[in-house]
Amino acid sequence: MADRYFIFVYPEKGEVQQLLDLAIYLINPREKFPAHVTVAGPFYNRKHFAIRKNDLDTTVFSLSRGNFFQYGSNTVFLNVGFAERAQVWKKPDFKGNPIPHLTLYDGQEDSLARYLFKELGSIPLNFSFRAKGLHVVNSVSGQARSDLKLAVETGVLEETRGKSIEEVGALPPRYRVKLAIRALAKIPTNSPLNWKDPFPKTFRY
């Protein structure tokens, strides 16, 4: 099993972070990591990191829903933007314009991914969160991690309050997606809908 290293930006601890973490767990209880934006990686050696800014302190804006269905992937995400992106972005797996995003689901179930994407269209997704620091994360293919499971607070949503993390994870998949949508809908919509990326779309690697 090969080690892969990434640089994550995590939401600052608080209500938005708790609701995002719960939503991601509800969608996929097998997900390894709490809510995050991947800004660099994968790298297979820590010496290969080329991050030009390690004191990140920014506001990340959620702008809209997105997916990678056209690439044969079941990934569903939130498009995000933040002013310092060009200073920290280094993702060799993206060969075109950067697509900063916060992944909500990246799994094997095509029908669940498409159902999630459809349901996301029913709620506003223009919110923001503070993020501080860049975090090195080691992900080993095939290796289980419980970072997300340990981070989830089931009490932030009425329908999951009082339930154990195992009980929440055992709920029917589409019902979990419905609850995830309710969790995301609780996030205050306080970011401008007309936020503009300050960096040119011709940015290359």
Instruction: Compute the mean pLDDT over every residue in the chain, rounded to the nearest whole number.
Output: 87
- 52 versus 68: the higher-pLDDT residue is 68
Gap between the Cα atoms of 108 and 60, Å rounded = 28
Average pLDDT over residues 104-126: 97
Residue 197 has pLDDT above 60, yes or no: no
Boundaries of every domain in the chain:
3-185
Query: Sign of dihedral through CA atoms 68, 69, 75, 77?
Result: positive
Gap between the Cα atoms of 66 and 79, Å rounded = 6
Q: How, if at all, do strands 101-105 and 76-81 pair? A: antiparallel
- Contact by Cβ (8 Å): 185, 126: no
- Give residue 92's pLDDT band: very low, low, confident or very high (50, 70, 90): confident
Residue among 139, 132, 108, 145 nearest 42 (CA) = 139
Gap between the Cα atoms of 168 and 115, Å rounded = 19
Average pLDDT over residues 86-105: 85
Supply 60's token pair.
């990340």
Lowest mean pLDDT among 93-97, 144-148, 155-159, 172-176: 93-97
Model-level pTM? 0.89
Residues 6 or more apart in contact with residue 98 via CB below 8 angstroms: 85, 89, 91, 203
Average pLDDT over residues 94-116: 91
% of the chain at pLDDT higher than 90: 65
3-185 architecture in CATH? Answer: Alpha-Beta Complex (3.90)
Residue 170 has pLDDT above 80, yes or no: yes
Residue 147 has pLDDT above 70, yes or no: yes
Residue 106 has pLDDT above 50, yes or no: yes
Q: What secondary structure letter does DSSP report for 77?
A: E
